[in-house]
Amino acid sequence: MRDDPADTDGGSAGRLSAVAGTLLGCLTALAGLLCFAVAAALLGAFLLWPRTRSGARALLVTGARKLTEVERWRRSLFFGDRFPEHRASDQQVLRYLASRTCAGLLCTVVAGLLVFGLVLAGLLAAGVFRSTLSWQELLTQVVLGSVLLFLDVQGLLSLAALDARLARACFGPGERELLERRIGELAASRAAVVRAVDTERRRVERDLHDGVQQRLVALAMLLGRARRARDPAQSDALLAQAHKESGEVLAELREVAWRVYPTALDSLGLREALGGVAERCSLPVRVSYDASGPLPRSVETAAYFVVSESVTNAAKHSGAGDVLVRVVRRGGILTVLVRDDGTGGADPEGSGLTGLRGRVAALDGMLDVHSPAGGPTTVTAELPCV
């Protein structure tokens, strides 16, 4: 498959920028060497004397930080690196500058050898043009030159990779810190999921106890009164009332079951399940669905509960007259947006939204709640589909 011309141009520009950044790195390495030489000449004695060691070290670190900021700028401008807001320690700065200086000087030597090899290749070509070389000498020179060129290029690539690793270690979190952060995130998301499940369980228990159970008690009392009634007309009226109450019990039980887990997700999919949420809501709900292809079951479940909880909150608390639900899939991210035109002021730390945040975080997703006073309220969830 042929590359797109724009991509080819971008790749060529990126390679030229990397070459320019590498050559500039050779110059900054010389600046680092000069910095350490001057520090050794002017501050060496003060660094050895305990009483002046801290002040001399502070001067050395100040100069090292300025050169380190130049290196950070070089990596960002020529290599497109993006580093987080991270202030390295004094020891990290000195270690980085020393390592970077050694690697840059070695890169300078390797680049000089490459230039020297190109000069020799030009002289060899001139000798071939003047017919002053035999075929045996030409073959020997070509073989040796090819081997040295390969080693030279591999050396430059290895030094460039070393430069990138040193920059990541100094300007960004190290692998150990990233691993610790990831462990912390996983522990927090697990705890959030446990809290969300416990909150959901308590809500189901409350709905069954305060709603369904009370209606069943009322239904049993109506049936008991109908059995004891002497008047057939009164008995028929009580049975009709009991029949109506049984329908309301079934409707409420079905609603509780839907809040626990909607069976439409298994049989019809996310789109139809969201349509059911819109039909059951007391507010007008407009659903826009643009997510082609199958979705992971866990993503469908999380997206459903984000919409269901947000729509329920809008109907109960916001005083809204309209709710918009938009579900869009772009690449490997499913974005769910729920916006109402209510009064706003939703508490992002409320139990319902906190449970949603834990459910979304368990999938490495993100949940954002924007609800200024006066509205509108916008709930946005981004769910990875991989």
SS (H, E, C) 73-87: HHHHHHHCCCCCCCC
Neighbours of 18 (CB within 10 A): 14
| pLDDT score recorded for residue 350 | 67
Give the neighbor-by-neighbor strand order of the sheet with 366-370: 285-290, 323-330, 333-340, 377-384, 366-370
List beta partners, residue 384. Answer: 333
Q: Report which secondary-structure segment, H or E, holds 287.
A: strand 285-290
List beta partners, residue 286. Answer: 324
Q: Which letter does DSSP use for residue 40 in this model?
A: H
CA dihedral sign, ordered 259, 263, 266, 271: negative
Do the beta carbons of residue 351 and residue 344 sit within 8 Å? no
- Residue labelled with tokens 């189901």: 204
| pLDDT score recorded for residue 8 | 43
| pLDDT score recorded for residue 4 | 43
| pLDDT score recorded for residue 106 | 93
* CA proximity to 362, closest of 197, 213, 132, 153: 197
**Which parts of the chain have pLDDT scores under 70?**
1-11, 133, 173-178, 189, 192-200, 207, 254-264, 350-352
| pLDDT score recorded for residue 269 | 82
> How far does Cα 220 stand from its chain's mean position?
54
| pLDDT score recorded for residue 255 | 67
Total H helices, total E strands in the chain: 11, 5
Q: Domain 267-384 falls in which CATH fold? A: Heat Shock Protein 90 (3.30.565)
Q: At residue 9, what is the residue type?
A: D
Q: At what angle do helices 297-313 and 270-280 cross, to 10 degrees?
A: 10
Neighbours of 52 (CB within 10 A): 13
